[in-house]
Amino acid sequence: MKKSLLWILIVVMSMILITTFSLIGCKEEAAPEAKKITVATITYTSEIEWFYILEQNYKAVADELGIELIQVDPKADPQAQVDLIEQMTQRGVDAMLISAVDPQVIKAAVEEAIAEGIFVLIQGQERETVPWSTANFGYDEKQMGTLTGEIAAAAVAEKYPDATEIKLAVLGDPGWASSGIRMGGAKEAVINGLSGVNVEIVIDDVMGATIETATNVIESALQQHPDLRVVVGINDDAAIGSVGAMQSQGIDVIKEGCIAGAGNNKGTWPYIDRGEILGSVDLNHRGTAEVALNAVVDLVNGKEVLEMMYIDMIKVTNENLGDWYTGE
């Protein structure tokens, strides 16, 4: 009888152990590893320094957040960008971060991706010009232009304290949706910053977004307006081209020029250091990547984000240039 009870006890204990291990196994199987968020970045072209640096910052922030990043380059070709958006839609990524080559060309592909449940965030476009994405992120274009204009106005006040009138060239990119907003802010800042001075705008709404185009425009402008000394550029290349154009006409830009750009590209630092360009605007690549990728995490987790997310910017002048440039 005692042996029978012992065997019964052994059997019961065995069943309890088997059940316990089975439950533990079930619990382990019920908690699979969380799926990584997948994000595709489709920038304008990595051949432009600003976008190359942005891609590096996307990668660094994505690694920190545990995001799987797919980086593709349309090489400034709008149709290639459409093709890449469609490929990423087929692949089923969670989100795309796009720097549009041509917003209207990619619109249909973006809307198709959104219809498939993909979050599409557009970099560098104001909401009023691109309202059809999940959200936009970038700079307050008017504020960026304002900072550029303020740099130029301060230079005029210092170099020409008794001036009653000046001539101003405004270099932009008429084919880009936000150019007018940015350069409008620059014009207003120059005018508002020079109270009592008549500001005559002799160049406006023309293509001057590259060193070559800016050089050609300013050289031509100087033929008609030899006293032109003030230029606000949509980017740093516009400022560099303006410097070269004035120097080719024998103008001492350090003493006479009042030229400002935007972008804080490393190629501009020696010009600011020498005083040929009076300043630029730092566009905060790291902040751009953080805002965009944190917004993706929020969207994937069911949270709402602002339709237009702005990035902080600061002026770059000779006074704080050392934060980026050591002269080497």
pLDDT of res. 155: 98
What is the band of 317 on the pLDDT scale with cuts at 50, 70, 90? very high
Burial 17-48 (b: 16+ CB within 10 A, else e): eeeeeeeeeeeeeeeeeeeebbbbbbbbbbeb
| C-alpha span between 38 and 72 (Å, rounded) | 13
pLDDT of res. 240: 97
Tell me, yes or no, whether 32 lies in a domain.
no
pLDDT of res. 48: 81
174: three-class secondary structure by DSSP: coil
Is residue 27 pLDDT above 50, yes or no?
Answer: no
pLDDT of res. 21: 47
Is residue 17 pLDDT above 50, yes or no?
Answer: no
Fill in the amino acid letter for 94: D
Fill in the amino acid letter for 181: I
If asked whether residues 262 and 292 sit together in one domain, one would say no
| C-alpha span between 259 and 242 (Å, rounded) | 8
If asked whether residues 48 and 174 sit together in one domain, one would say no
What order of strands is seen across the sheet that includes strand 95-99?
68-72, 38-42, 95-99, 119-123, 135-138, 308-310
pLDDT of res. 12: 47
Tell me, yes or no, whether 10 lies in a domain.
no
Side-chain-side CA neighbours of residue 100 (13 Å): 27
326 or 229, greater pLDDT:
229
pLDDT of res. 50: 82
If asked whether residues 181 and 244 sit together in one domain, one would say yes
With a pLDDT cut of 70, the percent of the chain lying above it is: 89
- Domain hosting 104: range is 38-139+284-312
Instruction: Give the distance, in angstroms, between the CA of residue 245 and the centroid of all CA atoms in the same chain.
Output: 28
If asked whether residues 182 and 253 sit together in one domain, one would say yes
Instruction: Give the distance, in angstroms, between the CA of residue 8 and the centroid of all CA atoms in the same chain.
Output: 74
If asked whether residues 100 and 158 sit together in one domain, one would say no
Average pLDDT on 200-207 reads 96
Other CB atoms within 10 Å distance of the CB of residue 308: 16
If asked whether residues 184 and 270 sit together in one domain, one would say yes
Average pLDDT, the chain: 91
| C-alpha span between 299 and 143 (Å, rounded) | 27
pLDDT of res. 312: 87
Question: What is the total count of domains within the chain?
Answer: 2
If asked whether residues 101 and 192 sit together in one domain, one would say no
212 or 48, greater pLDDT:
212
If asked whether residues 251 and 272 sit together in one domain, one would say yes
| Residue 118 Cα distances to 26, 52, 86, angstroms | 33, 24, 11
| C-alpha span between 245 and 191 (Å, rounded) | 24
What are the backbone dihedrals phi and psi of residue 195, each rounded to the nearest 5 degrees, phi first? Answer: -60, 130
Nearest CA-CA partner of 182 in 116, 263, 244? 263
282 or 27, greater pLDDT:
282
pLDDT of res. 1: 47
Is residue 126 pLDDT above 90, yes or no?
Answer: no
47: three-class secondary structure by DSSP: coil
Is residue 3 pLDDT above 70, yes or no?
Answer: no
pLDDT one-digit tens code per residue, 145-169: 999 999 999 999 999 999 999 999 9
If asked whether residues 240 and 290 sit together in one domain, one would say no
> What CATH number does the domain containing 119 carry?
3.40.50.2300
User: Strand 314-316 relative to strand 280-282: parallel, antiparallel, unpaired?
Assistant: antiparallel
Q: What residues contact residue 9 under an 8 Å CB cut-off, 6+ apart?
A: none
Q: What residues contact residue 303 under an 8 Å CB cut-off, 6+ apart?
A: none
If asked whether residues 297 and 195 sit together in one domain, one would say no
If asked whether residues 215 and 231 sit together in one domain, one would say yes
DSSP 66: T
If asked whether residues 120 and 57 sit together in one domain, one would say yes
DSSP string across 206-217: EE--SHHHHHHH
Tell me, yes or no, whether 103 lies in a domain.
yes
Is residue 185 pLDDT above 60, yes or no?
Answer: yes
Burial status of residue 80 (CB atoms within 10 A of its CB: 0-12, 13-18, 19 or more):
middle
pLDDT one-digit tens code per residue, 93-124: 999 999 999 999 999 999 999 999 999 999 98
The owner of tokens 């303020």 is: 150
| C-alpha span between 122 and 96 (Å, rounded) | 8
pLDDT one-digit tens code per residue, 28-81: 454 456 689 999 999 999 888 789 989 999 999 999 999 999 999 999 999 999
pLDDT of res. 307: 97
173 or 23, greater pLDDT:
173
